Structure 1
Amino acid sequence: MVLAGGESRQNATMTYENIKLATPTAPRVFTGRDNLVTEGVEMLCKKGQAHLAILGAGGMGKTSLALHVMEHADVRKKFQEKRYFLPCEVLPDAPSLIQGLLQILKISISEGKDGYEILESYLQSSQEPILLVLDNFETPWYSSENQKAIQNLIEKIHDQGKVSIILTMRGGKAVGDIEWDKLGGKSGLPPLTLRAAREAFLSISPATKESEELDALLNELDCMPLAVFLMAQLSKRLPLEVLIKNWAKSKTDMLRNENQDSRLTSMNTSIDLSLNMLASQESGSIRILPLLAYLPNGVPFWTLNLPQLSPDIGNDLEMTILAMIDSGLIYEESTSLRMLSPIREYVQTKYPVTQHHLDQISSFYVQLLQNLPQSKLEAQDILEVHTANISTIFTETAPQQGHLEAIYCFSKFTKFYPQTLPILEKALTQEWNGEQQEHINIRFLKARIMQWMGYHKQAILEIQKIETTVGDAKSRRRYLPNEAQDGWKTEAEILAKCDKEMGVIYYRQSEYSQAVEKFTDAKTQFENIGNELGVADCLHKLGEIHCIQSQYSQAVEKLTDARTQFDKIGDHRGATQCLQRLGDLHSMKNEYSQAVEKLTNARTLFEKIGDQLGAAQCLGSLGHIHYMRGEYPQAIEKLTDAKIQFEKIGDQLGAAQCLRSLGDVHYMQGEYPRAMEKLTNAKIQFEKIGHQLGAAQCLRSLGDVHYMQGEYPRAMEKLTDARSQFEKIGDQLGAAQCLTRLGNIHYDQGEYPQAMEKFTDARTQFEKIGNQLWAACCLQSLGDTHYMQCEYPEAIEKLTNAKNLFEKIGNQNRAAECLESLDYIQLKLSMSPTL
């Protein structure tokens, strides 16, 4: 249908049939654009005359949106039968545009008059409002040799008082000097939200099930409508796992509807149209296109950073970028240049990035990481918009010696740990100047990140690899001269660090006996080599474990010794952390006045040495004390202030923990909707930064909220999921606590055998990890369950044992509860001897 060849465009005939055959219908599956449809309809119906521009990349659903606006009931009511759709992709210049308009308006040309004159006369004389939808207007605009004629025509139509226009066009700029109302914002039509993309995919392929894998695939497609549509069509014939595998291998080559190669049925064909448009307007852009396609984040603050990323672009950089935006290949989002994922993937195959580009990109990011501001929050904000680019350049290229310091800088930000791990994995494949020692440093760092993210088994494997490396070195060293052996005098220190890190991993998994063993061994080794800092660190950790196990006297002894050791070597931060832990210990013993005193002092000392993180943690602990004392307004105030402090310094983990604690405060006040909101948001934040433990704790608290509202099935679901997550990351304490809560739900519903099973299993787990407090609570619950089943001897036995255990660990309140229950049973037995 496109007019070409030797035939004159002016003399060619565009028939009504040609136009109608090129006109699509409004698609049945249309999601995520309701607000834009409403906006467009209101503009058309509330004004006497409206001119709408729907802009953006090819495949963004511009035509679909225009058709749905055009077919809306309110638009039909206003324009009646005078709604006309013109597919401009078959109209390459102004004369053919005129001819196409005459055809859809069903106007014949009188003898002696030309088409323009008749069209102008018709539009001027119309007494009824007319709506013209000019679809894919980039074809005549960019292919015409006389662009001015196109502009004059559209502006003349615009000036007709009864005519409203909907213009769809690739790129970010509409034609002419007309004040267009843009649907979708400055940068054009945005991609679909994940929810809308999922809904569209499942509408096309209803046999596919919702899953994390589907969402991941849709995100890989950047939720681009055409890509989603074509992938969904394929999913009717191929399983999702095959599509995911093929996307990783074939990318956009697979996004086509059978053997058709039109802009609506082939992703590559659609992108090629934009590439051809760009090549005809700005051939020099090909030099920068590979670089932009390589960067998943695009170029943040592009006017500042792009000249540094590619200093050899030339002086006409801005004009080149504007031409690329006009082609629809890239778009401007805030101050960043971005390219949608399917476009990126195709451009990379057609115009692959060169080694020169890669060197420029890596040099830019090395300098960026080495010159970050001292404020961690400011530095994090700068890096936030570059993280995918940093991950890509340091994992897909071979890191060089000069990159290592930059990688270490990036690894200081907990928020970016998920992106840091693959970078460190890549770094372990390289040879460094420090040889094995550098690999050991990288593995230690990798293990710490893994245990922070809850990957405890993988972290243990990393530590074991370090131990193997040192062991192999020892074997080789026996055959070396004495002077060569001296280079490995740090072996003992490395092995001590391995034991300490293993202790931390066991501690995070609530495996306290193994943790104590490792910390004790590490402490002994540090003492043998004279590493006083290592000794103090181990004492500190041993003190924390004693706290958790309710062994308060041993905890005080270890933490006091650690604080003395830190003071001795001048480590003020370590000493203050011990004071902070002593404050937490008083809080656990319900000695709140002493706890407040120590935490307040610790907070002051942290502020004095400039440790904002430690100060914020103390503030959060003070908020927790208010919570434990039932002083909820003060708790909310302190926790909110702590959350603000954490956010200010960029500690997303601390902020999420405060949000979770705020949810718990609302829960205790019976404000369940607010508790749900806070806990749900906290869970999202924990998941965002990869902190699986925090997310599992939020799930557990959400289960508690459902339980308190009598929503037992939902509570069971949340607590079961939480238990699975705790078990997955190796947190036996959290898993056992979920078991206890599940037992409570069975108990409340009178399901006593199931409750007994849960309480018994939980008690076994608590005893295994040495948590006497929770083990005693399970004994108490077992006693109550026996009582409810009239099993009085068993109830007396369990409650007596629970009372004794509570007294042993100093929890007089719970001991009194057990004694009260025992007295009640004895009274009941004395009144009814037959029992």
Structure 2
Amino acid sequence: MSQENIPSEDSGDTPPTWLAANWFVERRGEQVRKLEEVAALVKQQTTGATDDVSGDLLNDFSEALKGIEVVVRKFGDLNRRYRPADDDEIRSLSERLDSIISMFSLRTVVENSRRLDIDDQQLNEHNSQLVDHNSRLDDRSSRLVDHASRLEDHNSQFDHQDSRLVLLERWRDGSVSFQLPADIPLMEMPPKPAVFYGRDELVESIVERLCSNDNCHIPVLGPGGIGKTTLAAAVINDERIAAKFGANRFFVNCEKVTNCDELAGKIAPGLHLHPNTNPRQAVSAHLASFKCAFLVLDNAETLLDSEDRDAVENWPGTVAQNSHVSVMITMRGTNPPGPVRWADICRLPLPPLSLSSTRQIWPDTTSSIDDNLDTLLGMLDGMPLAVRLMATVDPAATPSQLIQWYEEEKTSLLGINGDTHLTSLEVSIRLSLNSRIMVKHPEAVNMLPILCILPDGMLRSSITDAFTSMSSPKTNSLILERSGLAIREKDRIRCLAPVREFILQNHSPMPLYLADIRLFFMQITDQVGKLGHKRSAEAIEQLCAEFANITSILKHFWIERSTVDIALDSRTALTEATIQLSEFSIFFTFGDCSDLLRRSAQQLDVEGDHANAAKCIKTLGHHLESRYEYSHALERFEEARTRYRRIGDRHGAAQCTQSIGNVLHRQKKNADAFSSLQEARTEFSALGDRLGTAQSSKRIGEVLYSQARYPEATVSLREARSEFQASRDPIGAPQSAKVLGSAKTSTGMPVPA
């Protein structure tokens, strides 16, 4: 420590000795305080040190501090005089402290150097670890670069899609100077139908109406499977529609949509609307912002059949109010939503396809064709869905095989391709059958199986007379139309054949209503007795119009008769109606009663009514003869004659013999015909049947005339004319006279007036 500022006695200063001592003590006290601070630092830095140098340094420093404390206490006593020896003692302690501080500084430098060496060693170790880590990072970076390259390749594949949406948005906002192709829609659409026949004129009319008007609303109505969705797809994909509406064409499948918000929610994503907006308001406003737009709501009956019907009806009405938005709706039934002013071009439900159209569909779907194709297509009744499903049941199966399978399994055969309304006919029918309107009207459900027995449906004007036991039959018929289970054709209501097959297979008619409908149609067969009278034309017209229905009703009755006990009067009425209808069919060569007659003969045999069974077989022979099936007709006449002879009915047997002679004459087997007819005439004469005798004589005369045996023919024909006149037959006598005149002309004899 420096001593230059310490006052001494030799100096010129004259302060008292005790003041000099106090000054010295104060100065040394200050140094001691500094040393105490240094000591605290030294203790902190050397805490935990174990080397000898650090320990000795601390010991010396401690002893020096103790010496200083003694000196301080000594000089702190004011009654003690200052002595020079004391100054030496202080100087000695000061030098000792200087030495300790120097040693401490050196020790600090050495220790710091040692610590730096350790830090350098640790740093080198860390650097080595970092080098290894960097090497591994380089490997990972290389792999990441490879991944990034592959991701870039993938992203490039989707860039055109992202850019398409971006460009659409920019084009909509007017921020690009060009436009995308106008026919790129904003929403996914069904493809243009690959197979489409029978509706070309209707598509043309719809497209023309849409293109020539700023605002046009088209309803496409009809039963399930009739081709409504296909028609809508054909319209929205038409080039002229794409040219006018461009990207603003929206096709929305409403299947499984149960309320208006869900409907608007299906449209909103295609318009890129914010998900938190009110979908109804946003979609309506956005559509209104377009220069023109075309919205198609497919399968809308699901929506209209929901509890939200009021809102569903109002919202399309709101959209349709825009002068630049056109709407097309496809739905089952007959009544589109009310608030929209629908165009009259499609107000009537779509009709079934014609046979010629379904013929065109078939080869485009399958290559299997044979002579029974028209029969198969007739069984499908022009329903496009049924035709398409039937064609895909088995591509290798012929129409003849498919007819056999369909007769065995009915509509279940048309459900093997899937379980949706577009892939299964039964699913499609059940959708209509389980609709809310059908559930709310159980009497309409009860009317349906009755209507399904009638292939030609029922005159709307006759519904009340036919369903005498049903309340509100006209209302129930309207319900069936609105559900899409029945269609209206001119003045009739009927169900398509596939629907009839499904309903009759799964739902039994109510006995009360079945009795009503049987009575109604069986009474029509009584019109056969009016033929030849004043109202013959009216009777013929009614019988022809209802022939298929009467045949179906009678056939259904015969089937039921084979399973349940029926009252005698009902059985008698059924047998008489069957014979009457068959005689009408034979006389006018109208319709086909062969299956009805075979079924009735079989059941009558089971019941033991052999006389009427023989009569049905004989009538079947006449029916086959009228259809020029002579060989089969002969078999039936011979079978009937055998039956009549077995039960002892000579008259019935004679009639069969006469019929056999007639057929043989038609086959130009005149010798056999002459023999049979002579046998018949003999038998009729013996039985006293003048009309039968006259008929046989007339036929014999015709056979002789065809053999150019004119004199013999003249004799036989005169006998026939006399017998006809005696029996007052209004037809036989003139016919005999006509043939007689021809015979006389051939022989040169005068013909009497």
Q: TM-score range by the shorter chain?
A: 0.5 to 0.7
- Are the aligned partners of 2:717 and 2:740 in contact in 1 as well (CA < 8 Å)? yes
Partner residue, 2:179: none
How many angstroms does 1:43 deviate by?
1.3
Question: CA separation of 1:505/1:352 partners in 2, compared to 1, >3 Å: closer, same or farther?
Answer: same
1:309: which partner in 2? 466
Q: Distance in 1 between matches of 2:687 and 2:527?
A: 37
The corresponding residue for 1:215 is: 374
Which residue of 2 is the match for residue 324 of structure 1?
480
Q: Are 1:386 and 2:543 counterparts?
A: no
Between the aligned partners of 2:641 and 2:423, the Cα distance in structure 1 is 56
**Residues 167 and 235 (structure 1 numbering): CA distance in 2 closer, same or farther, change over 3 Å?**
same
Asked if structure 2 preserves the Cα contact closer than 8 Å seen for 1:22 and 1:87, the reply is no
Q: C-alpha separation between the residues in 2 aligned to 1:20 and 1:234?
A: 36
The residue type paired with residue 352 of structure 2 is P
Q: CA deviation at 1:237?
A: 4.7
Q: Deviations over 1:691-747 (max 9, x none)?
A: xxxxxxxxxxxxxxxxxxxxxxxxxxxxxxxxxxxxxxxxxxxxxxxxxxxxxxxxx
- Asked if the contact 2:701–2:712 (Cα under 8 Å) also holds between the matched residues in 1, the reply is yes
Deviation at 1:158, TM superposition (A): 1.6
Check if 1:464 corresponds to 2:638: yes
SS in 2 for 1:255: helix
Greater shift, 577-586 or 73-82, is seen at: 577-586
Q: 2: CA distance between counterparts of 1:292 and 1:49? A: 40
Q: Distance in 2 between matches of 1:181 and 1:438?
A: 59
Q: Which residue of 2 aligns with 1:121?
A: 285
Among candidates 694, 703, 723, match of residue 545 of structure 1: 703
C-alpha contact (below 8 Å) 2:470/2:513 kept by paired residues:
no
Where do residues 38-117 of structure 1 align in structure 2 (5 Å cutoff)? Answer: 38-108=204-274, 114-117=278-281
Q: Give secondary structure in 2 for the equivalent of 1:55.
A: strand
Cα distance in 2, alignment partners of residues 52 and 87 from structure 1: 16
Q: Give the RMSD, CA atoms, in angstroms.
A: 2.9
2:341 corresponds in structure 1 to 179
Aligned pair in 2 of structure 1 residues 179, 510: CA closer, same or farther (>3 Å)?
Answer: farther
One-letter identity of the residue aligned with 1:35: E
Note if contact 2:187-2:270 (Cα within 8 Å) is conserved in structure 1: no
Secondary structure of the residue aligned to 1:263 is coil
Alpha-carbon distance in structure 2 between the residues aligned to 1:66 and 1:168:
8
Which residue identity is paired with 1:139? T
Over residues 233-288 of structure 1, what are the superposed CA-to-partner deviations in whole Å (9 max), with x where a residue is unaligned?
A: 12315444432222111111111353x31111111111111112143443442222
Report the secondary structure of 1:235's partner residue: coil
Asked if structure 2 preserves the Cα contact closer than 8 Å seen for 1:129 and 1:162, the reply is: yes
2:552 maps to a residue whose letter is T
1:135 counterpart residue number:
298
In structure 2, distance between residues paired with 1:323 and 1:455 = 45
Look up the match of 1:401.
572
> What TM-score, normalized by structure 2, do the two folds share?
0.68
Partner of 1:226: 385
Q: Please name the residue that 1:500 is paired with.
A: 658
The one of 363, 381, 401 aligned to 1:242? 401
How far apart in 2 are the matches of 1:594 and 1:158?
87
Change (3 A) 1:179 1:551: farther
Kept in 1: contact 2:189–2:250 (CA 8 A): no
Q: Which has the larger radius of gyration?
A: 2
For 1:445, the aligned partner's letter is T
Letter in 2 for 1:342: P
SS of residue matched to 1:59: coil
Alignment of 1:377 onto 2:537? yes
Contact 1:85 1:132 in 2 (8 A): yes
Deviates more, 1:550-559 or 1:166-175: 550-559
C-alpha deviation, 1:437, in angstroms: 3.6
CA distance in 2, matches of 1:472, 1:142: 65
Within-5 A mapping of 1:355-374: 355-370=511-526, 374=533
Task: Note if contact 2:380-2:498 (Cα within 8 Å) is conserved in structure 1.
Answer: yes
In structure 2, distance between residues paired with 1:573 and 1:434:
36
C-alpha distance 183-507 of structure 1, shift in aligned 2 (>3 A): farther
Structure-1-length-normalised TM-score = 0.61
Matched to 2:274, the amino acid is S
Deviation at 1:434, TM superposition (A): 10
- Give percent identity, aligned residues only: 28
The 1:75/1:309 distance shift into structure 2, 3 A limit, reads same
Please name the residue that 2:9 is paired with.
none
SS of the residue 1:85 aligns to: strand
Q: Which amino acid aligns with 2:430?
A: D
Q: May I ask how many residue pairs the two structures share in their alignment? A: 550
How far 1:509 moved relative to its partner? 1.2
Aligned-partner SS, 2:434: helix
Gap change, CA 1:226 and 1:514, over 3 Å in 2:
same
Residues 512, 431 of structure 1: alpha-carbon distance in 2 compared, 3 angstrom cutoff: same
Q: Which amino acid aligns with 2:523?
A: Q
Distance in 2, Cα, partners of 1:263 & 1:224:
13
| In 1, Cα distance between equivalents of 2:627 and 2:270 | 62
Does 2:499 align with 1:343?
A: yes
Query: Are positions 1:149 and 2:311 aligned together?
Result: yes
| Structure 2 counterpart of 1:776 | none
Residue identity in the other structure for 2:452: A
Q: What is the one-letter code of the residue matched to 2:354?
A: T
Counterpart amino acid of residue 324 in structure 2: K
Structure 1 residue 198, shift from structure 2 partner: 1.9
Aligned to 2:52: none
Return the offset for 1:183.
5.3
Deviations 1:432-475, CA, capped at 9 Å, x for gaps: 999444334333322222212222222222222233234434xx
Residue matched to 1:195? 356
Q: Does 1:536 align with 2:694?
A: yes
Stretches of structure 2 lacking an aligned partner (at least 5 in a row):
1-184, 562-570
Residues 526 and 535 of structure 1 are in contact (CA less than 8 Å); yes or no, is this contact kept in structure 2? yes
Tell whether the 8 Å contact from 1:233 to 1:257 is kept in structure 2 after alignment.
no
User: Any conservation in 1 of the 2:432–2:484 contact (CA below 8 Å)?
Assistant: yes
SS in 1 for 2:602: coil
Q: For 1:246 and 1:216, how far apart are their aligned partners in 2? A: 14
Contact 1:88–1:140 (8 Å) recurs in 2:
yes
Secondary structure at 1:243's aligned position in 2? helix
Is the 8 Å Cα contact of residues 58 and 328 (structure 1) preserved in structure 2?
Answer: yes
Shift of 1:549: 2.9
Is the contact made by 2:658 and 2:677 (CA closer than 8 Å) also made in structure 1?
Answer: yes
